[in-house]
Amino acid sequence: MQNNFIALCRNGTSFQKFYDQLQKRDRLERRRIVNMIIEGATCLINSSRYGHLDFVRYLVEECEAELELTGSVSFDGEVIEGASPLWCAAAAGQLEVVKFLIAKGANVNKTTCTNSTPLRAACFDGHLNIVQLLVDSKADIEIANRHGHTCLMISCYKGHYDIVRYLLDVGADHQRQSTKGNTALHDAAESGNLRILKLLLDRGAQLRPDIHGVSPLLGAANSGHANIVDYLAGHPELVPDPAERVHAMELLGCTLVDKRRDWVSGLRRWRKALRLREGLRLPKAAAPRHEAAFAGAKEFQSAAELDEVAADPEAVRLQALMVRERILGSEHPDTAYYMRYRGAVYADQGQFESCLRLWLYALELQLRHASPFFPASLASFNNFIELFAFMLSSNARPLAAQWTEVLGQVLCRCVLELAKSFKALGLPFRTAVAADGTAAAASAGDSAAAAAVASEAPSTNSAATATAAAAAATVASPEERPLQYADRLLECLATLTALLVRAAAAASSASSAASADVADDPPDFALPLAVRQALFDVRCVASPLSGNRLIHFACQSSRRSRITERYRPPSCRVRPLSDCCSGLVPAPTPSIATATRRFTWRPAPAAWIRLAPS
């Protein structure tokens, strides 16, 4: 019955039916029904969002619907948690509903879980009349969302000129910066809106860099907006640094090549930048980079060198990656992003070697510069998992030895990222990070505890599993996202371990002369020493979200089990990962002989120990 009330509030076509059904009940029952959260929202939230003023008036005046009760709604494909009825009406442009709710005392500054106000919601979709009404009703124009992004900034980014002008007229701060250092000028430049950019400049806005050192000019170039680049670069009084103007021209060329796929225009911008450098006598600065990731390619320094690579599309794309890294720096997220994108293209073309080189370098940059719980880092580990799983499939070529080593390196980096996450959460972690960035082995005294963990048989009906399932089924709150990040890292680690075990087993199986014995007993094989040490360090680490440990993820995750079983080498029977985990120790000792008797290690080559790419 309650679901019927929600449906009627959404449709708004049968008010009399809605009225009759509620009037049959007493006052307390009506109040209880209309304030129930059904399918994430109340009757008032749904009626406000869809602009049914007759429903809204009846719910507030006769059913005592709570004005500040929040729920979950979907706008522009994004789920908004903690949205009030006024926020929903403002976002949807329902002016009459907004007027009514304000008159009834709705809080004009009530925020969502991401600290978005009704005023910001109206600015996002360009509802000027609602913006004016909210400001006249004492809405605070300077309340920013959780990223420090203000109403003026979002209006600039969305290109709502009239709202930008109005906000400036009522005193919005055009020099305010977000948590990433962006200003309203950044948003105007990165959206390509020259009219708004000129308005901000006329009002006295200054061209300031963000936390990555990127100015609005470079931001426009990185977004591919030639109109903004040409305007700002053509006004030396706005951008007095000639090097910045040249960098903008070069960066615009990169975006045209990579994002717009317009090589002709990209090469034209690079040639123009070379002419500017020659006139200014401004040589290119050397950028530290991992040359192996770019297959030994070097950035062009002259027009002649550019002409040499201009006929090769792949060489031009590599040039774009190198130029972008030099200008934006290795710490900028877009530097690693475009490397990951280009690597994905290589993977689709079957060029796994080129893909892994770029992805490994991009992962190095992400883990070196990104803050804890950075979503792109988790995405990178998942990309490696999918790629290696495909490379181990029967339809792909056998995994080359050097890329099995890369898989081990990725696994060790996953351990290091896990350690960084636990440290940020203030939780204990066994892994000690050495000065060279490798995962150091745990102390010998941990062997007994690790062996005890290995002997535990995880239960599929455990409370930890139930907790993890419940957490996965709901949308994580901002407070839970770091915990969820660490939980998923442990899951990635379990899958990487399974893939590495299978890769090593396949290599041993291929080199085994006694193929008849493979069906009865898998051959012995070696895992990298650094991998064995890293996995030993995390065997006792429990997920802060579910309480599960690595061995639980290895044995209980059905999705990961499907991946590892699907790509099991057909020529070799591999033991379950739970058996493999029982042998993940730096070196077998008499105290853990029982745990390791079914899993024999061979001496690891010295090459396995090196974590950095050669």
DSSP string spanning 202-231?
A: HTT------TTS--HHHHHHHHT-HHHHHH
pLDDT tens readout for residues 352-379 = 889 999 999 999 999 998 888 889 999 9
pLDDT of residue 108: 98
Q: Residue range 585-600: average pLDDT?
A: 30
Rounded Cα distance between 336 and 341, Å, is 9
Cβ pair 221, 249 in contact under 8 A: yes
pLDDT of residue 466: 36
pLDDT level of residue 110 (50, 70, 90 thresholds):
very high
pLDDT of residue 249: 98
pLDDT of residue 173: 97
Q: Residue range 278-301: average pLDDT?
A: 86
Could you tell me the sign of the dihedral formed by the alpha carbons of 116, 119, 122, 126, in that order? Answer: negative
pTM of the entire predicted model: 0.80
Rounded Cα distance between 195 and 600, Å, is 70
Better-predicted residue by pLDDT, 393 or 98? 98
Position 602 pLDDT exceeds 50: no
Give the position of tokens 């080359």: 400
pLDDT of residue 514: 40
Rounded Cα distance between 352 and 249, Å, is 32
pLDDT tens readout for residues 245-271 = 999 999 999 999 999 999 999 999 999
pLDDT of residue 555: 52
What percentage of the chain reaches a pLDDT higher than 70? 75
pLDDT tens readout for residues 527-537 = 667 777 777 77
pLDDT of residue 604: 32
pLDDT of residue 150: 98
573: its two tokens: 């029977």
pLDDT tens readout for residues 428-481 = 775 433 333 343 333 333 333 333 333 333 333 333 333 333 433 344 555 678
pLDDT of residue 591: 29
Widest distance between CA atoms in the chain: 86
Better-predicted residue by pLDDT, 156 or 3? 156
Q: Residue range 229-237: average pLDDT?
A: 97
pLDDT of residue 399: 63
Which residue, 293, 409, 403, is CA-closest to 343?
Answer: 293
Rounded Cα distance between 523 and 527, Å, is 13
pLDDT of residue 149: 97
pLDDT tens readout for residues 173-220 = 999 999 999 999 999 999 999 999 999 999 999 999 999 999 999 999
Position 67 pLDDT exceeds 60: yes
pLDDT of residue 39: 87
CATH 1.10.10 fits 212-370, yes or no: no
pLDDT tens readout for residues 318-357 = 999 999 999 999 999 999 999 999 999 999 888 988 999 9
Neighbours of 562 (CB within 10 A): 10
pLDDT of residue 394: 55
82: its two tokens: 């903690």
User: Domain limits of the chain?
Assistant: 212-370, 392-458+481-509+521-609
Least confident segment among 166-180, 391-405, 479-493, 547-561:
547-561
Cα–Cα distances (Å) from 63 to 98, 430, 534, in that order, read 19, 57, 61
298: its two tokens: 């070097």
Give residue 468's identity as a one-letter amino acid code.
A
Give the position of tokens 């895992």: 527
User: Running DSSP on this structure, what letter comes out for residue 41?
Assistant: B
Q: Residue range 548-559: average pLDDT?
A: 57
pLDDT of residue 191: 97
pLDDT of residue 212: 94
365: its two tokens: 């940059």
pLDDT tens readout for residues 13-40 = 778 888 888 888 888 988 998 899 988 9
Q: Residue range 158-185: average pLDDT?
A: 97
pLDDT of residue 479: 64
Rounded Cα distance between 240 and 233, Å, is 9
Tell me how many degrees the CA angle 170-171-173 measures, rounded to the nearest 5: 140
Q: Mapped to the 3 state alphabet, what secondary structure does 90-119 carry?
A: HHHCCHHHHHHHHHCCCCCCCCCCCCCCHH
Neighbours of 586 (CB within 10 A): 18
pLDDT of residue 481: 80
pLDDT level of residue 588 (50, 70, 90 thresholds):
very low
Rounded Cα distance between 299 and 286, Å, is 9
User: Running DSSP on this structure, what letter comes out for residue 439?
Assistant: E
Helices (H), 204-302: 216-223, 226-233, 242-258, 263-280
Neighbours of 422 (CB within 10 A): 20
Q: Residue range 280-298: average pLDDT?
A: 84
Neighbours of 382 (CB within 10 A): 14
pLDDT level of residue 59 (50, 70, 90 thresholds):
very high
pLDDT of residue 610: 29
Position 581 pLDDT exceeds 50: no
Q: Residue range 132-153: average pLDDT?
A: 97
Which residue, 330, 339, 342, is CA-closest to 368?
Answer: 330
pLDDT tens readout for residues 308-319 = 999 999 999 999
